[in-house]
Copies of this chain bind each other. A is one copy, B any other.
């Protein structure tokens, strides 16, 4: 099943394993005539890159985006944009020990069951390294959306049990990139950082929530019945490793409200279609599965063994997941924007 593509009119197809020579993507359906600002793309990559702070894995990757096609003299041509990101700092030897052990919470066992074999080096295709491609593709889409003056930002809303209290519409997006955790409230950010450092010291990990705000959304994005904009966003977010939940702004909380109250609350999407008001949604990430503690695990013989994780990993993926959430949002919006044009006669 061709399952490594996302999008309808603007379609991203991705490939690559954690320890292969490169990962990459093909972005097909990207309109011609868009200036491709490679510095901007690279800046987006920096935000997701490992090793950017003490909170993240120490794997060192330049994560440079090599464009192979679809761009001529810095402008998109309408041809598919293919790009590569080379893998450099693979330490496959770290993973040799995992050839016969299934890490808890990972794809290891289920890939063996589904495919009859697996590339066990760093999780192979299931590695979160795959998200670098999403960020690159999202950066291209952001260049497209800028033409519509659309504003889009994500930020860490919670880490473990520390929650931001500022309402999304009051968040100052300038504050987001000023701390290592990407939370716009500096006090909360400090608390979050301490919490992550504590988890790291305990050889444990943390989850959290990422909030996204979109402003200046063109009216009419999204389509009934199965291409609703909120459904596409949920689909995109739930395709990210470790995501376990999605809600439109206060979606779960509002199940306890009355209709008369809820009707006064704006979500930016009516019946699956953008209505021009700001869109806010929230994404739940489970704690990182890979932890340095000794854990019980199953091996390929079906025996229970004790596992001490080698490999490098983040005690908390949330700070690096912010640009990933933004990228998937940009992919959904750009696709919806191009789709909406196809029905205008």
- On A, residues with C-beta under 8 Å from B are 1-11, 13-17, 20-24, 26, 28-29, 31-34, 68-70, 72, 75, 77-82, 84, 104-107, 109-111, 113-119, 124-126, 130, 144, 147, 158, 160-161, 199, 202, 204-209, 219-220, 223-228, 230-239, 241, 244-248, 251-252, 254-264, 267, 270-276, 284-291, 293, 295, 338-345
Contact = CB atoms under 8 A, between A and B. Distances in A.
B16 A28 contact: no
A2 B29 contact: yes
* Ranked 3 nearest A-B pairs via Cβ: A107-B271, A245-B251, A205-B259
Given A2-B11, A77-B124, A341-B342, A285 B255 contact: yes
A26 B25 CA distance: 9
Given A104-B263, A232-B235, A233-B238, 16 more contacts: A1-B29, A1-B342, A3-B29, A16-B69, A32-B343, A72-B118, A77-B115, A78-B343, A79-B119, A113-B219, A144-B345, A160-B255, A239-B272, A244-B247, A246-B247, A252-B284
Contacts of A273: 107, 110-111, 114
Contacts of A15: 26, 28, 68-70, 79-82
Nearest to A126: B271
Contacts of A246: 234, 238, 245-247
Contacts of A147: 345
Contact of A32 (B115, B158, B204, B226): B115
A114 B218 CA distance: 10
A262 B105 CA distance: 9
Contacts of A261: 287
24 contacts: A2-B29, A4-B224, A20-B69, A23-B69, A32-B115, A33-B117, A34-B345, A77-B117, A113-B219, A207-B254, A231-B236, A232-B235, A235-B235, A244-B252, A244-B267, A245-B245, A251-B286, A259-B287, A259-B288, A260-B291, A260-B293, A338-B342, A341-B342, A341-B344
Contacts of A344: 31, 341
B79 A270 contact: no
Nearest to A25: B26
